[in-house]
């Protein structure tokens, strides 16, 4: 048995031991606040067991292992339905970014420890009403204020902002230069005076995303994580991580074995649907696709472990995984016939095909809409010419609003 397989078996044994307290069955019927409290307790236990920050540096409280162990643990954990969604953005992008770009290492170590144990949550404040997938088009501004800065504006679609203690934010500090040049990257206290968080109810019934307003929010220059005007590069580093971390090969929908179980139970023309060649073809295609995407993710995490920047291939992961989830969910609903039309607003997206299908469009917008990902794939992977960009090189304050 390889070291990785031995690690996987130990992880699975630990997960099985705590699943009765933290797993899917234990969470059934809990309110969101109760589920969040359970999630904090689970993260604390996971940290104590040595399964947090698996491929993070030991100096920050991580385990110092490779991305391979992390992928192994994550794939095992996913099967148990643990209450980790509240912390996925926090541990996925903002915390790795502060480890890399914040200069106060003692402060960073404290934040990392509290994030790994579930005590603190971070959010990512990027999208805006007038600048969603076009991050460089954002209009939230920061102006100098004594020795610090004053932020005014609005962010949108911020996941779990209502529970967040801190956030990373990109703002415009110079509107007189081209749009990519006048941005600066900061971290911000989400409890600071002037920060207002309002949850948004989505089509599926939940409210994990928010609009966030900043009214004269004052921060010190020690909150700055990029050179003034150099925030776009740090934002791109964040998004490169997001292309891998903020997705999985199932597109955050149900696992493929759940579809196989459904195909075994459902019938087509009086025979088990699993015997139909069209259904078997879809299972095979999804299996191959998900394994390919997992390989892209594993390669990217190995690159990050080696101090390299992952490439644009993550756009393929994000684009393909959520699209295929939507199509597979639609097929699963069709196989159920009239019963497939029943909708439970409280059903877990990773367990219920109806919930998965109705929430899939959200996944095709979050983290970069399909159209932006297609542009990235065309230009960065296939080497095709760029789209015409009439605002290229134009000072931001001269672009028509």
Residues labelled catalytic: 242
Geometric angle at alpha carbon 204, from 118 and 124, rounded to 5°: 40
User: Do strands 195-200 and 209-220 pair parallel, antiparallel, or not at all (unpaired)?
Assistant: antiparallel
Three-class SS of residue 106?
helix
CA gap 84, 391 in Å, rounded: 41
Those residues with Cβ within 8 angstroms of residue 82's Cβ, 6 or more apart along the chain or in another chain? 15, 19, 22, 23, 39, 42
Whether the CB-CB separation of 42 and 48 falls below 8 Å is answered with no
DSSP state of 378: I
CA-only gyration radius of the chain, Å: 22
Q: Using alpha carbons, select from 125, 112, 136 the residue that is nearest to residue 219.
A: 125
Three-class SS of residue 355?
helix
CA gap 270, 333 in Å, rounded: 18
Q: How many residues does the chain have?
A: 401
Question: Residue 154's beta-bridge partner residues?
Answer: 213
Alpha-carbon dihedral angle through residues 251, 363, 119, 67, given to the nearest 10 degrees? 40
Alpha-carbon dihedral angle through residues 335, 338, 339, 343, given to the nearest 10 degrees? 110
Report CA-CA distances (Å) from 112 to 105, 123, 185, 212.
10, 14, 19, 24
Containing 5, the helix (H) or strand (E) segment is: helix 3-22
């Amino acid at each position: 048995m390889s070291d990785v397989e031995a690690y996987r078996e130990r992880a699975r044994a630990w997960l099985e031991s705590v699943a009765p307290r933290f797993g899917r069955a234990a969470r059934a019927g809990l309110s969101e606040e109760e589920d969040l409290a359970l999630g904090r307790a689970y993260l604390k236990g996971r940290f104590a067991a040595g399964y947090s920050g698996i491929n993070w540096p030991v100096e920050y409280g991580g385990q110092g292992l490779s991305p391979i162990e992390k992928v192994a643990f994550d794939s095992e954990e996913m099967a148990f339905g643990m209450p980790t969604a509240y912390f996925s953005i926090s541990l996925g992008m903002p915390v790795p970014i502060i480890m890399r770009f914040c200069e106060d290492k003692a402060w960073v170590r404290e934040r990392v420890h509290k994030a790994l144990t579930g005590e603190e949550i971070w959010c990512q404040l990027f999208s805006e009403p007038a600048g969603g997938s076009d991050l460089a088009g954002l209009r939230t501004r920061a102006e100098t204020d004594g020795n610090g800065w004053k932020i005014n504006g609005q962010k949108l679609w911020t996941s779990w902002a209502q529970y967040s203690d801190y956030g990373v934010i990109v703002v415009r500090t110079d509107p007189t230069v081209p749009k990519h040049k006048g941005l600066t990257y900061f971290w911000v206290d989400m409890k600071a005076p002037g920060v207002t968080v309002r949850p948004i109810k989505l089509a599926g019934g939940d409210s994990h995303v928010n609009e966030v307003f900043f009214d004269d929010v004052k921060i010190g220059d020690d909150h700055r994580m990029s050179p003034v005007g150099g925030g776009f590069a740090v934002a791109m580093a964040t998004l490169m991580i997001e292309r891998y971390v903020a997705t999985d090969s199932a597109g955050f929908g149900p696992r493929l074995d759940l579809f196989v179980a459904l195909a075994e139970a459902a019938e087509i023309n009086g025979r088990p649907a699993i015997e139909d060649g069209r259904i078997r073809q879809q299972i095979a295609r999804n299996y191959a696709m998900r394994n390919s995407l997992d390989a892209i993710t594993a390669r990217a995490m190995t690159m990050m472990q080696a101090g390299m920047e992952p490439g644009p291939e993550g756009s393929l992961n994000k684009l393909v995984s959520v699209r295929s989830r939507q199509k597979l969910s639609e097929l699963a609903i069709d196989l159920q016939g009239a019963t497939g039309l029943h909708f439970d607003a409280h059903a877990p997206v990773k367990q219920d095909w109806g919930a998965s299908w109705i929430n899939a469009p959200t996944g095709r917008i979050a983290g970069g809409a399909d159209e932006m990902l297609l542009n990235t794939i065309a230009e960065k992977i296939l080497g095709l010419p760029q789209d015409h960009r009439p605002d290229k090189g134009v000072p931001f304050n001269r672009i028509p609003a």
